[in-house]
C-alpha cells in the first residue's frame, strides 16, 4: 500500500495528498507533519517496512471538506486520491487514483465561499497587450479580455475582480512571482501551455481550460463559451477608486455595510446578488444598452402589482447557476435536484407574467426565460417531494417512476412490517414486554431479551449470538431467512436508485444551454427589480444622457450617507459642469462635506451607467469612460508606500489613464508634504489636466491661495462648502455655493474635536499674530506658465541612469538593489 502511495505522490509533489483508506483520508511523511500542525490534528506513526515509523495523520472522509477548505484558504493545494474499484471485488491492493486537485481558485463550496459573490480562477499570458481570462467554476461563467499597461495593471485588475488564483505559464511565472507575493495572489504554474489555434483565440482562455481539465478530471459541460470583451465597453473604475468610493467594501469596517452594494442589493436570489456586483464592477459605457435597462426599471415601477408578483416568485428561486455546476461536476444530491425543480416551476409563471405585460421592454425579458419543459417534467416525475440529502439514505427517486425500484421497496417495506409483527408475536408468546428486534452491521437482525426474562427463551428455536451486560441476543432460522430477503431488497433498491439518479442527472445535463440561459435571465430580472425597489424607496430619478461633457445634477444626494442618517434631513446640492467650465475647485473647512460631495457625484455616475435611477431631482449626464479618484489618506504599509507616495501613485494613474471623457476626483492633493511642495504640485496638476486632458474634474483643497487660479484657467470655477460662525462656534451648512471660501475654520474644527481649551486659545493667539504680519500673503502667480528651457549639459552616468528609471514601477527591493549598484559606481569614481 505504501508503494502505491509513493507512486501516486511522485506525480503530486507540491500538493497535500489525501489518500483514501476506508472511511479516512490519510496523509503520510512530510504531508502529515505539515498538515497536523496546520489542521491541529494528532500526528501518529505507522510501521510500513521502513527503518522508522512513517509519520501519519488522517481525517474522516465525511468531514474532510472543512479540513480541505482550511488548507486551500491558506494557499495550499490538495490532491484527492480515491479508491476507484470496489474492495469486495478486488484481490490484493485496491486501485487508487487522484480524482481532483483542489486549489484556491477551484474550491467550490465551504464557509469561505460566499454564495452572493463570484469565485474566479484566472489565467494570464504576458503578450503585448496582456491577455487575461477568468472563470467561475461553480457557475460556469467565463470571460476573456486584453489589458494594456504593466504587470501591476494586471494584478490591480485581478484584485478588482477578486480573482482567487492566477494560472501562468513557466516563462511568465518568473516575471510575476514577486508581484504575486506582494499582491497576495496565489500563482499556479501550468506547464501545458497550448499553441494558439487561431490568431483571434485567447491563449489565456486556452491555458485556463487546460489547467481546469488537468486539475478537475471531470465533466465541464456547464462551462459557458468565453465572453470576449474590450475595456471600452464598460465604465472603467480602477481598484483604488473602487476602494475610495466604497462600492463593495467599507473602508472602516471592511464589510458591505455603508457601501453601494449594501444600498442596492434588494435582490431575492444569490444569482441576482452576484449579477449586481458584476454590474457595479463594470457599469456600461454604451448609451443604448444603459437606456434599455432604464426602460425595464421604469416599466416595473409603472406596474406595481406585476413587480410584487415577480418579487414573490423570485423568493422561490434557488441558486440555479451553482446547481447546474453540480449537475456538470456530478456532485448533485437529492435536495439539490428538488431545488432545481422548484426553480424551474417558477419559470413558466414568470414568463407568462412578463409576456402579458403592456410594456414591450418586459415582454423582451420574458422571451429570454426558456421554460425548459422537458427538464422540469423529468424532475417532477423522477425526484421525490422531499428527498434526503444523500443517496445512501434512499428515497430520492419518486415512487411510481420505475417499476423494478417499486418492487424492491415493496419487499423491503413488507419485510419491515413482518419484523414488527414478529416482535409483537414473540412478546406475547414469551410474556416478555421488553423483547425487541434490532439490527447491527455485524450480526444483522437479532432478538434481544433482558437478563430478567432470558430464561423464557425457547432453546430449540432461539440461537444465542451475543451476551451483553444486561441482555442476551438471539437469532432464529426464520429471522435469518427474512433478513436475507429484506437486506437484499434494500441493497438492490439502493443500487438501482443510484443508477436511476445518475441517469436523471445526465438527462438534466443535456438541457444545460437552455438552463443556463434561463438562469442568466432570472438573475438579470432580479437586479432590475432591485433597482425598481431602490428607485421607489430612496426617491431616485431617471437620468438622461448627453453626447458632450456637460453634467447637470440638480439637488443631488449621497444615497449611502443619506441611508446611514436614518431619514434625517440630508442637504442636497447641485453640480453643474459645462463645456466652458468643467473643472470645479472646492474649498471649505474640514468636516464640511467636500469629500462626501465629490463621492456623491461619482456614485451618481456609476449608478446611472449601471442602468439604475439616481439620487437627484434631475440628472443630465455625459457617458463617462473612466473614473479616477484620489480621496482619503491611508498608508499602504504592505506595499512600502507612505500616504504621500500613495497620493502621488494614484494621481499618476489618473493623469496617465484619463481621457477627455473621464471623471477625475482629487481630494486635497499635496497635504502629505510641506505647504509649498503641496501647493505647487496641486497647481501643476490642475494646469496639466486643464491644458492637456480636459476631463470633468472636481478638485478640493485647503490651500486657499489656489482659488486665484480661476482667473488664469479658463475652464476652472470656484465653489465652496458653506459654513458660518455662531457664538464663536462653527456651524457646517453642507451647502455648495459659488465662489471661494472666505476662511478655513481650522481652529473651530479643533475645538469641535474637543482639543484641550488651552491649546485652542493659544492657537487663536498665534493666528492673530500671523494675520498681522504684512508679508504673510503668499501669491503663487508671480510667474507665467512657460515651457522650461533645457540647456545642454554633460551629466554623470549615474544621473543619466537615474533619469531613465521608472521609479513608480519599481518595488522597494528593486529600488534598493539599483541604489546599491549606483553607490558602487560613484565610489569607484565613474
Binding-site residues for ATP, in ranges, read 588-595
* Sequence-separated (6 or more) residues with CB below 8 Å from residue 187: 165, 166, 167, 168, 173, 176, 177, 180
Task: Determine the Cα angle at 732 with ends 746 and 255, to 5°.
Answer: 90
Please name the residue ranges forming H helices in 510-613.
Answer: 512-537, 559-564, 594-610
Coarse DSSP helix, strand, coil percentages of the chain, rounded to the nearest 5 percent:
45, 20, 35
Instruction: Say which residues have a Cβ less than 8 Å from residue 513's Cβ, sequence separation at least 6.
Output: none
Q: Which of 110, 124, 117, 138 is nearest to 190 (CA)?
A: 124
Q: Which helix (H) or strand (E) holds 19?
A: strand 16-21
The whole-angstrom separation of Cα 713 and Cα 710 is 6
Grid coordinates representing 647 are 497620493
Nearest to 604 by CA among 592, 620, 591: 620
User: Residues for the chain: how many in total?
Assistant: 830
Q: Is the peptide bond before 127 cis (omega within 30 degrees of 0)?
A: no
The distance from CA 273 to its chain's CA centroid, rounded to whole angstroms, is 10
Burial (CB count <10 Å: 0-12, 13-18, 19+), residue 702? buried
C-beta separation of 246 from 604 below 8 A: no
Residue 147: other Cβ atoms inside 10 A:
17
Cα 611 to the chain's mean position, in Å? 21
Q: Which residue has the cell 494614484?
A: 650
* Residue in the block written with cell 497550448: 194
**Residues in CB range of 194: below 8 A, 6 or more apart:** 203, 206, 207, 210
Strands 444-450 and 436-440: antiparallel
Q: Sort residue 652 into left (φ over 0), alpha (ψ -120 to 50) or beta.
A: alpha
> Cα–Cα–Cα angle for 34, 35, 37, nearest 5°?
70
Q: What is the DSSP string of 391-454?
A: GGG---BPTTS-HHHHHHHHHHHHHHHHHHHHHHHHHHHHT-TT-EEEEETTTEEEEEEETTTG
**Dihedral-angle region of residue 447 (phi above 0 means left; psi in -120 to 50 means alpha; beta otherwise):** beta
DSSP characters for 143-155?
EEEEE-S-HHHHH
Whole-number Å distance between alpha carbons of 14 and 31: 10
Q: Which residues are documented as binding site?
A: 588-595
| Residues 297 and 535: beta-carbon distance below 8 Å | yes
Q: Are 136 and 118 in contact (CB under 8 A)?
A: yes
Q: Residue 58 and residue 41: Cα distance in Å, rounded?
A: 8
C-alpha radius of gyration, the chain, whole number: 35
- For residues 133 and 750, what is the distance between their CA atoms, to the nearest angstrom? 51
Task: State the helix-helix crossing angle for 477-509 and 334-355, rounded to 10 degrees.
Answer: 40
Q: Helix 512-537 vs helix 334-355: angle between axes, to the nearest 10 degrees?
A: 60
Amino acid at each position: 500500500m505504501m508503494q502505491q502511495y509513493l507512486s501516486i505522490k511522485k506525480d503530486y509533489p507540491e500538493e497535500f495528498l489525501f489518500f483514501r483508506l476506508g472511511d479516512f483520508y490519510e496523509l503520510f511523511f512530510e504531508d502529515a507533519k505539515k498538515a497536523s500542525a496546520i489542521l491541529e490534528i494528532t500526528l501518529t506513526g505507522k510501521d510500513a517496512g521502513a527503518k522508522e515509523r512513517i509519520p501519519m495523520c488522517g481525517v474522516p472522509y465525511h468531514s474532510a471538506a472543512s479540513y480541505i477548505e482550511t488548507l486551500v484558504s491558506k494557499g495550499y493545494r490538495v490532491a484527492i486520491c480515491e479508491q476507484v474499484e470496489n474492495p469486495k471485488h478486488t484481490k490484493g491492493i485496491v486501485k487508487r487514483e487522484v480524482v481532483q486537485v483542489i486549489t484556491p481558485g477551484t474550491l467550490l463550496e465551504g464557509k469561505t465561499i460566499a454564495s452572493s459573490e463570484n469565485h474566479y480562477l484566472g489565467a494570464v499570458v504576458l503578450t503585448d497587450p496582456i491577455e487575461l481570462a477568468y472563470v467561475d467554476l461553480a457557475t460556469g461563467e467565463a470571460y476573456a479580455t486584453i489589458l494594456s499597461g504593466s504587470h501591476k495593471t494586471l494584478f490591480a485588475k485581478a484584485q478588482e475582480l477578486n480573482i482567487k488564483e492566477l494560472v501562468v505559464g513557466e516563462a511568465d511565472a518568473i516575471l510575476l512571482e514577486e508581484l504575486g507575493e506582494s499582491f497576495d495572489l496565489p500563482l499556479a504554474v501550468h506547464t501545458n501551455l497550448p499553441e494558439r489555434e487561431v490568431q483571434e483565440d485567447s491563449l489565456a482562455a486556452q491555458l485556463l481550460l487546460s489547467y481546469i481539465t488537468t486539475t478537475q478530471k471531470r465533466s465541464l459541460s456547464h462551462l459557458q463559451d468565453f465572453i470576449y470583451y474590450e475595456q471600452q465597453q464598460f465604465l472603467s473604475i480602477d481598484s483604488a477608486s473602487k476602494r475610495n468610493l466604497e462600492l463593495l467594501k467599507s473602508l472602516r469596517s471592511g464589510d458591505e455595510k455603508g457601501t453601494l452594494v449594501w444600498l442596492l442589493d434588494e435582490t431575492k436570489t444569490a444569482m441576482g446578488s452576484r449579477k449586481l456586483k458584476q454590474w457595479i464592477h463594470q457599469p456600461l459605457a454604451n448609451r443604448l444598452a444603459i437606456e434599455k435597462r432604464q426602460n425595464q426599471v421604469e416599466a416595473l415601477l409603472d406596474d406595481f402589482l406585476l413587480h410584487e408578483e415577480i418579487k414573490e416568485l423570485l423568493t422561490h428561486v434557488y441558486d440555479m447557476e451553482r446547481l447546474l455546476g453540480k449537475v456538470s461536476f456530478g456532485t448533485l444530491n437529492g435536495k439539490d435536484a428538488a431545488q432545481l425543480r422548484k426553480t424551474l416551476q417558477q419559470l413558466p409563471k414568470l414568463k407568462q407574467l412578463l409576456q402579458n405585460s403592456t410594456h414591450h421592454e418586459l415582454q423582451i425579458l420574458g422571451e429570454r426565460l426558456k421554460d425548459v419543459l422537458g427538464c422540469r417534467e423529468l424532475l417532477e416525475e423522477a425526484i421525490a417531494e422531499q428527498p434526503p440529502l444523500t443517496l445512501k439514505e434512499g428515497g430520492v427517486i419518486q415512487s411510481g417512476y420505475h417499476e423494478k425500484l417499486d418492487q424492491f421497496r415493496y419487499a423491503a417495506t413488507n419485510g419491515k412490517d413482518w419484523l414488527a409483527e414478529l416482535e409483537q408475536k414473540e412478546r406475547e408468546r414469551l410474556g416478555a414486554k421488553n423483547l425487541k428486534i434490532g439490527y447491527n452491521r455485524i450480526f444483522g437482525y437479532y432478538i434481544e431479551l433482558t437478563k430478567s426474562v432470558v430464561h423464557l427463551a425457547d432453546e430449540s428455536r432461539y440461537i444465542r449470538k451475543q451476551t451483553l451486560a444486561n441482555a442476551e441476543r438471539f437469532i432464529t432460522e426464520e429471522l435469518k431467512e427474512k433478513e436475507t430477503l429484506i437486506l437484499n431488497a434494500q441493497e438492490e433498491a439502493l443500487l438501482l436508485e443510484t443508477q436511476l439518479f445518475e441517469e436523471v442527472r445526465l438527462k438534466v445535463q443535456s438541457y444545460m444551454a437552455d438552463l443556463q440561459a434561463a438562469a442568466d435571465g432570472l438573475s438579470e430580472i432580479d437586479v432590475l427589480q432591485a433597482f425598481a425597489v431602490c428607485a421607489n424607496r430612496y426617491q431616485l430619478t431617471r437620468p438622461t444622457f448627453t453626447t458632450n461633457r456637460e453634467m447637470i445634477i440638480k439637488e443631488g444626494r449621497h444615497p449611502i450617507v443619506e441611508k446611514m442618517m436614518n431619514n434625517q434631513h440630508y442637504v442636497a446640492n447641485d453640480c453643474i459642469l459645462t463645456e466652458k467650465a468643467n473643472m470645479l475647485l472646492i474649498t471649505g473647512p474640514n468636516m464640511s462635506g467636500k469629500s462626501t460631495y465629490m463621492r456623491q457625484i461619482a456614485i451618481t455616475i456609476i449608478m446611472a451607467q449601471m442602468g439604475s435611477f439616481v439620487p437627484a431631482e434631475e440628472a443630465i449626464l455625459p457617458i463617462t469612460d473612466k473614473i479616477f479618484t484620489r480621496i482619503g489618506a491611508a498608508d499602504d504599509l504592505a506595499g512600502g508606500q507612505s500616504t504621500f507616495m500613495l497620493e502621488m501613485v494614484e494621481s499618476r494613474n489618473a493623469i496617465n489613464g484619463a481621457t477627455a471623457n473621464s471623471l477625475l476626483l482629487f481630494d486635497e492633493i499635496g497635504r502629505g508634504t510641506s505647504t509649498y511642495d503641496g501647493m505647487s504640485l496641486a497647481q501643476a496638476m490642475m494646469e496639466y489636466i486643464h491644458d492637456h486632458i480636459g476631463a470633468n474634474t472636481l478638485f478640493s483643497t485647503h490651500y486657499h491661495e489656489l482659488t486665484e487660479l480661476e482667473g488664469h484657467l479658463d475652464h476652472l470655477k470656484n465653489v465652496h462648502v458653506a459654513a458660518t460662525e455662531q457664538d464663536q462656534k462653527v456651524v457646517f451648512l453642507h451647502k455648495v455655493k459659488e465662489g471661494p471660501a472666505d476662511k478655513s475654520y481650522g481652529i473651530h474644527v479643533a475645538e469641535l474635536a474637543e482639543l484641550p481649551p488651552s491649546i485652542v486659545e493659544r492657537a487663536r493667539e498665534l493666528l492673530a499674530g500671523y494675520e498681522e504680519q504684512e508679508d504673510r500673503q503668499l501669491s503663487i502667480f508671480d510667474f507665467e506658465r512657460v515651457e522650461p528651457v533645457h540647456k545642454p549639459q554633460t551629466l554623470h552616468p549615474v544621473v543619466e541612469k537615474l533619469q531613465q528609471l521608472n521609479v513608480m514601477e519599481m518595488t522597494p527591493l528593486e529600488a534598493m538593489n539599483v541604489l546599491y549598484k549606483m553607490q558602487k559606481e560613484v565610489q569607484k569614481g565613474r
